Amino acid sequence: MSMFSVSCERQRIDEPEVGQLNEKAKQNQERLIQSIQKFEEELKNLEELVETKNNNEYWSTKEFKDKYGKKELGLANPGEKLIMINEFESELESNKIYKENVAKINEIESKIKNYFESNKKETQKIEQFEIAREIHVQNEDSTWIWFNLMMDIDRQLEKLSIANKSSDVIIFEEYIDLRIPGKIFYK
């Protein structure tokens, strides 16, 4: 009989502990629900951010993918060749908004046109890519030359001169890409 009384006493001792455990479980459950709600809210915000980025046409263009692959991953397109230049170019402040730099864009276009005129070449077409911060120029041979507006345009024109000096040996059929520091991609 003493065993029975011990177990009864034990149950009486455990009853308040069970109540405390139930209270702690409820508190933990409430915290867990709050954490889940916060996580769901953050996930919704991220989904909205991704949707906004996806609506921005540039992030999904082949120009962006091409530039990212070349600059960040060191990749070249199939059939594309590369001239390596021993240098380091720093990018200008990349957070400046394109529309605030209209005078700069006009100056760059003017420099590009002057470069072509001084080399007795003509430009067929000049295209601006606002989001990419690039200018693409098509020359008289229908070759495109790609410039990065966020980098020193004079240095890019020097790189174009290097490429043109190589034109006796190299044939530029599609494009000359001057956007990446220290490199000239061409196809």
DSSP secondary-structure letter at 151?
A: S
Per-residue pLDDT of the chain (187 residues; tens, 9 = 90+): 444 444 445 555 456 566 777 888 888 888 888 888 888 888 787 777 666 655 555 556 777 667 777 776 666 777 777 676 665 544 444 444 445 567 777 888 888 889 888 888 888 888 888 777 888 999 888 889 999 888 888 999 999 888 888 776 677 888 999 998 888 888 8
What domain range includes position 19? 2-55
| Domains identified in the chain, total number | 2
* Same-domain status, 82 and 156: yes
DSSP calls for 27-53: HHHHHHHHHHHHHHHHHHHHHHHHHHH
* Stated length of the chain: 187
* Same-domain status, 119 and 63: yes
Structural contact between residues 60 and 54, judged by C-beta atoms closer than 8 angstroms: yes
What CA–CA distance (Å, rounded) separates 160 from 166? 10
* Same-domain status, 109 and 29: no
Both tokens assigned to 124 = 């067929």
Structural contact between residues 55 and 111, judged by C-beta atoms closer than 8 angstroms: no
